[in-house]
Amino acid sequence: MSHVNVGIDKIRVWPASLALPMDELCRARGRSPEEARDVLMVDERSVNPPWEDPVTMAVNAANAMLTDEERASVRLLLVCSESGVDQEKPLSVWVHRYLGLDSRCRNLEVKHACYSGTGALGLASSFIASGAAGRGARALVITTDQSRMHFGKPWELVMGACASALLVSAEPRMLAIELGKSGVYTREVMDDLCRPTSRVEQGNSETSLLSYLEALDSAVPAYIEAVGERIGYDYFKKNVYHVPFGGMTLRASRRALTHFGDYTRAEAQALWESKTKPSLAFVRRMGGTYASSTFAALLGLIARSNDLRSGDRIGMFSYGSGCCSEMYSGLLGPAFQEVAAEANLEGLLDERHRIGVRDYEECERERVCYIDAGDFETSIDGLGGWYARRYGGRHLLTYRGAKDYYRRYEWS
- Residue 175 has φ and ψ, to the nearest 5°, of -150, 120
List of residues 6+ apart from 68 with CB closer than 8 A: none
Residues 168 and 6: beta-carbon distance below 8 Å? yes
Q: Tell me how far apart the alpha carbons of residues 351 and 284 are, in angstroms, rounded to a whole number.
A: 16
Beta bridge partners of 166: 11, 141
Geometric angle at alpha carbon 289, from 324 and 283, rounded to 5°: 115
> How many CA within 13 A on the CB side of residue 25?
30
- Residue 305 has φ and ψ, to the nearest 5°, of -115, 125
List of residues 6+ apart from 391 with CB closer than 8 A: 17, 51, 380, 398, 412
Q: Which of 374, 351, 338 is nearest to 60 (CA)?
A: 351
Residue type, 179: L
Beta bridge partners of 167: 10, 140
Q: 232: exposed, middle or buried (C-beta count within 10 Å: 0-12, 13-18, 19+)? A: exposed
Query: Sheet holding 74-80: strands in order across?
Result: 106-110, 74-80, 138-146, 161-169, 7-14, 175-186, 324-332, 313-320, 238-241
Pairing mode of beta strands 138-146, 238-241: unpaired
Helix (H/G/I), strand (E/B), else coil: 260: coil
Q: Tell me how far apart the alpha carbons of residues 48 and 85 are, in angstroms, rounded to a whole number.
A: 15
**Residues annotated as part of the active site:** 82, 114, 242
Q: Which of 295, 280, 283 is nearest to 349 (CA)?
A: 283
Q: 290: exposed, middle or buried (C-beta count within 10 Å: 0-12, 13-18, 19+)? A: buried
Helix (H/G/I), strand (E/B), else coil: 349: helix
Question: What sign does the dihedral 369-58-125-251 (CA atoms) show?
Answer: negative
